[in-house]
Amino acid sequence: MKLSKFCEEDLMTFDLQGDNKEAVITELVDLASESSLIRDRDELLNAVLEREKLVTTGVGYGVAFPHAKTRAMKGIVIAFGRSEVGIDFEAMDKKPVHLFFLIAAPEDAIGAHLNVMARLSYIMKSEKNRERLMRAKTPGEVLLILDSAP
């Protein structure tokens, strides 16, 4: 699965400004809202924040996958954000999060949504991939890393 079909170059930032979970989620939703596949930015934001209340999406190893399925979406979108300093995201390993992938999907995209999350999870298990994403300088590099990971 090529993740680049869900993640456009203009849906990435290498310098997240938020200093807490809600601020980072808001920043990522604002970034994702640049996509024509998002019908309603506020609905998406509320859906992601509500999902995050259930259990943290900070999976550990400095990675988080905030996500939601909502009517606000016409298709699956991934927004990527990076924080050099790291954010307290209440991650499962209690460590700061540096790499964020906001995954937004339509309510009826159950299989595709899970496939995207599974692929990202698999890629992020590799310390080498995480290090490469921390060093990436351009959106093109990020897409290459995501698409070329074994």
Question: Is 67 an active-site residue?
Answer: yes
CA 77 from centre of chain: 9
Which has the closest alpha carbon to 88: 22, 27, 29, 5?
Answer: 22
DSSP 115-129: HHHHHHHHHHT-HHH
Note the pLDDT tens digit of each residue in 87-121.
999 999 999 999 999 999 999 988 888 999 999 99
Q: Which of 67, 69, 82, 98 is catalytic?
A: 67
CATH classification number, 3-148, choose in 3.40.50.2000, 3.40.50.170, 3.30.300.30, 3.40.930.10: 3.40.930.10
Give pLDDT tens digits for 114-149: 999 999 999 999 999 999 999 999 999 999 999 998
Contact 59, 121 (CB under 8 A): yes
